């Protein structure tokens, strides 16, 4: 009996994103659809409440490579846009105001960098199934983290 096989085992899955057998794991996401949206004013502040019908959850196997690639793209795209705005604004127009959107994009790339592997995996998992779910009328997806922040409809503070 070779226990090393199970102890140090790297889980090989067949990735639904790139359709290859690779190291990875299953990620869970939740899905549903928007039912209604209402707004009210509390002390002059607009408060929007969106209600969803929850459809359920699905598990999708995604490889580590796809999750890494997602992270790289998520960081490079806003960084590239920030650089483009800086070059366009400063060099061509000599306009300092472009520093503001460039800085916001820079912060966005930092935020992307800070998101967990779990979160990115769940996003890819939803992407993979999104089209099929939309055909069934489910238009919204959540990572487990986002899902846990939704409040049950019965919960009303007033
Ligand atoms: Zn993959």
Which range of residues forms the domain containing residue 131? 11-148
Residue 83 tokens, joined:
């650089």
Strands 45-63 and 140-142: unpaired
In a domain, 19, yes or no: yes
Q: Give this prediction's pTM.
A: 0.74
Ligand 1 centroid to residue 24 C-alpha, Å: 8
Q: Is the pLDDT at 2 greater than 80, yes or no? A: no
CB 62 within 8 A of CB 29: no
Ligand 1 centroid to residue 124 C-alpha, Å: 10
In a domain, 90, yes or no: yes
Average pLDDT over residues 30-50: 90
φ and ψ at residue 58, rounded to 5 degrees: -135, 155
Neighbours of ion ligand 1 (CB under 5 A): 15, 17-18, 63, 66
Structural domain tally of the chain?
1
The band of 111, judged by pLDDT with boundaries at 50, 70 and 90, is confident
In a domain, 70, yes or no: yes
In a domain, 6, yes or no: no
In a domain, 84, yes or no: yes
- Mention every residue, 6+ apart, whose C-beta is less than 8 A from residue 80: none
């Amino acid at each position: 009996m070779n226990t090393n096989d199970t102890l140090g085992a790297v889980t090989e899955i067949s990735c639904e994103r790139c359709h290859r057998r690779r190291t990875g794991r299953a990620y869970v996401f939740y899905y549903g659809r928007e039912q209604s949206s209402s707004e009210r004013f509390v002390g002059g502040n607009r408060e929007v409440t969106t209600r969803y019908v929850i459809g359920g959850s699905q598990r999708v196997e995604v490889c580590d490579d796809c999750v890494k690639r997602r992270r790289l793209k998520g960081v490079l795209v806003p960084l590239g846009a920030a650089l483009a705005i800086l070059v366009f604004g400063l060099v061509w127009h000599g306009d300092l105001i472009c520093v503001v959107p460039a800085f916001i994009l820079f912060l966005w790339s930092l935020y992307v960098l800070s998101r967990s592997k779990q979160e990115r995996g769940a996003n890819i998992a939803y992407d993979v199934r999104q089209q099929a779910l939309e055909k069934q009328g489910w238009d919204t997806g959540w990572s487990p983290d986002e899902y846990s922040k939704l409040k049950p409809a019965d919960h009303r503070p007033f």
